[in-house]
Structure 1
């Protein structure tokens, strides 16, 4: 037989668990720092914030999205798209695709059948599942020109993900036949990889890396 004291402890624990679940559900639609540690471990170099800090995290504030049929958010949440597709008008956003053991910077084009496209394995990989959109804030962010995987000093590059080895990935942008395409870059890549026209394009020189 459970004692009254033990019963009260169990009831209190159950109520606390339900409250935590409710808080988690209510927060899913809000902007959240990248990445989601519930499903993906952070690279070793990520710096935990101490109490009282209110600075923007190294990966910015992101909108968690999914390819499961959820409606694409409006411009009030995404802000204006920093790029357009080959037609010159369809919006293209900066994002990160959450995979099983890694997170890869990608392009997000809501006009495409698969809105989240990742440069991966030589092709334009149509990601399925969770991905995060990074609203571009021109007052706080800019793409700095670089080449050969170099990370220009003096400011902080926006972290866009990591390989399954733990190597850091950053948001890059490269020009493909006159179209600016967001993708991924890193010192180990030696350039900027972007997905466009069904292929993974590797640009070694004169591409941009996102800084805040």
Structure 2
């Protein structure tokens, strides 16, 4: 995230997405045509954000839709490139619709000044509980002492990360960061590294 301690914060709060659609950034992965949904054969980088769907999804076309879209005057000077498609996807293109590939948020590392703490999801899915870990929550002794780590349950984190109306209301109720509940403040105001995993490939561990 674009921040480091209290010296540089581009945004006062960062709300991490619980799901990331990574379909269009994985090399060699089958993609859907932005117009008809069939297997995409070409990518046009100049069409980025030019269609109804935003992001990289708007750059993928099948051959027919590529020709149609680029008859438009403002797209005549675009330079589409051919996508590399695995043979097994090509032979199944008439009966197979390329799926969207998602990764799920499972941990957020936070930093306020010089000490890292972490929020970690204890399970898979939106409803899985979260916990908070601080390796230096307390200390016993001075020079020759030792740190005492702490891990506590954070049952409300899922509500703060949701994209629905309840989440919006929660943020409106606490316009000032100092009024946020402690764990919500540390997550939203100090998020530094967000970690995602694919539940589809976790079976291979």
Does the pair score TM above 0.5?
no
Q: Which has the higher contact order (CA 8 A, sep 6+)?
A: 2
Question: Computing the radius of gyration over CA atoms, which structure comes out larger, 1 or 2?
Answer: 2
Q: TM-score, normalised by structure 1?
A: 0.20
Q: Which has the higher helix share?
A: 2
Q: TM-score, normalised by structure 2?
A: 0.20
Q: Which has the higher strand share?
A: 1
